[in-house]
Amino acid sequence: MSIDRVNQLSSTCVRRRFALAPALLVLGVTLLCGTRAMASSGGEVVTTAAEPGSLLEVVLFYAVATMTIVSSVAVCMSKNIVRMALWLFMTLASVSFLYFLLAANFLASIQLVVYAGGTLVLLVFGVMLTNKSPWARYTPGKLELVGAAAVCSVLLVALWLVFLRAEWSRLPGAFAGTSVADLGRSLLSVYVVPFEVAGVLLMIVMVGAAHLARQDK
């Protein structure tokens, strides 16, 4: 089979395969974000992120932070509601990677399960159920846009200033890492009441949401 023949048969799109590139980027970042286990003396697995202070951490942080910022900016710039949801998903996933960097593995996983998996799908459901067309644009007034942009940027600058001014060194220090067991223990001892209350709340929300979204009134 000659190359021309191949050419003739398939009209397009070998080059499209290189769209793998963004996928590989995400993949690589995530791979490297994975944490490494270090056995502590107590036998419990305590995990840390890429060793604090290492080059790896710096590289990873900037990569993931860029991803976070780009996708969260994209959320507010998108006009299409489904795309907003997609970018939100990207943001949430990146934040989950940031959690990995912050040695909060459990939280990161939960973020993926609950937030990215559950909440987002809920949103998408909402989008699909409530939109005649996702391209339907409800444009706010020019003034509102400008005002919002101004306020947000001022706020950002203000926050930045605050961060610069703050004397973080006077605060208690960092810690090595944490295990799921610690988290569970404090959740069931110190924070047991909020925990229970959250359980009750979820139950109520479940009933309430089911009631709200019920078809036959």
| Residue list 118-137, contact with other proteins (CB under 8 A) | 118-132, 134
> How far is it, in rounded angstroms, from Cα 126 to Cα 129?
5
The kind and range of the H/E element at 38 are: strand 36-39
Tokens of 24: 């590989």
Q: How far apart are CB 41 and other proteins at their closest, in Å?
A: 15
Our CB check for other proteins shows the closer of 41 and 58 to be 58
> How far is it, in rounded angstroms, from Cα 101 to Cα 33?
7
Among 41, 42, 45, 63, binds other proteins (CB under 8 A): 45
Q: State the number of binding residues for other proteins (CB under 8 A).
A: 155
Q: How far apart are CB 212 and other proteins at their closest, in Å?
A: 3
> How far is it, in rounded angstroms, from Cα 134 to Cα 111?
26
- CA distances in angstroms from 72 to 57, 58, 76, 126, listed in the order given: 22, 21, 7, 20
For residue 99, state whether it binds other proteins (rule: CB under 8 A): yes
Question: Going residue by residue from 135 to 174, which x/- string records binding to other proteins, judged by CB under 8 A?
Answer: ---xxx---xx-xxx-xxxxxxxxxxxxxxxxxx-xxxxx
For residue 63, state whether it binds other proteins (rule: CB under 8 A): no
Q: Give bridge partners of residue 47 from the DSSP assignment.
A: 37, 178
Our CB check for other proteins shows the closer of 17 and 41 to be 17
For residue 29, state whether it binds other proteins (rule: CB under 8 A): no
Q: What is the full DSSP assignment across 111-129? A: IIIIIIIIIHHHHHHHHHH
For residue 207, state whether it binds other proteins (rule: CB under 8 A): no
| Residue list 65-94, contact with other proteins (CB under 8 A) | 65, 68-69, 72-73, 75-76, 80-86, 88-89, 91-93
